[in-house]
Every structure is written in C-alpha cells, then in structure tokens.
Amino acid sequence: MSQGSGGKACRVPNMNYVVSIFKIMADETRVSILWLLSQGEWCVHDLAGALDASVSNISHHLRLLRASRLVKSRREGQRVYYSLDDEHVVRLLDEAFQHAQHG
C-alpha cells in the first residue's frame, strides 16, 4: 500500500481523540443517550426511565460521555441536566444515522 508523500508516514491530527470518540460511541446505550440528548436536556432519572435502565447504569455512561467531551452538564438545585456538548456532536450523530439508512 502506498504512503503517498514520498514514503513519509501519514500523521493525522488528533487521531487518538478521534479513535476514542468512535470507541465511546460503539455502545448502544451511549448512542441512545446521545440521540435523546440531541432532542434537548435530560436529567439522569428521566434518561434511565426512557431507556429502561438503572440510574447507576446511565450515570456510568454519562460519566464516560462527559470525559470524552461529547456531553456537558449543569446543576439546577438537586438535579443535574445533561445535554450534548456542541453542534459537532449533533452532526456526527446525524451523519451516522443517515449513513445507516443508506446501508
């Protein structure tokens, strides 16, 4: 396989981070959470109810999504509300679903 530019190895910027995003999204529960959050803010209890999962399970997935900078949170009194970190996450999710429809 040709390396393209005179035999020099290709260095893709932010490769490790991009790979980590795809790894974190390679889970049905996390993709479901991201899809729900693309519709607006949710608290962990409501996400757990919508996904028929335990609060601790959803909290675990939300921690991973926050660590990957795909999800952000804000506190309002006793509740913590989660949303997608930015529009890039929405576009990434939309593109993945559109690609799946063309399969």
What pLDDT digit, counting tens, does each position of 78-91 carry? 999 999 999 999 99
> pTM of the full predicted structure?
0.85
- Identify the pLDDT of residue 55: 98
Mean pLDDT of the chain, nearest integer: 92
- Identify the pLDDT of residue 11: 84
Q: Which two tokens stand for residue 67?
A: 């660590």
Residue-range domains of the chain with CATH? 15-101 (1.10.10.10)
- pLDDT tens per residue, range 9-40: 788 888 999 999 999 999 999 999 999 999 99
Bridge partners of residue 72, in order along the sequence: 83
Q: Is 69 helix (H, G, I), strand (E, B) or coil?
A: coil
Burial of 79 (0-12, 13-18, 19+ CB in 10 A): exposed
Pairing verdict, β 71-76 and 42-43: unpaired
Bridge partners of residue 42, in order along the sequence: 82
Report yes or no: 88 and 100 within 8 Å, Cβ to Cβ.
Answer: no
- Identify the pLDDT of residue 2: 47
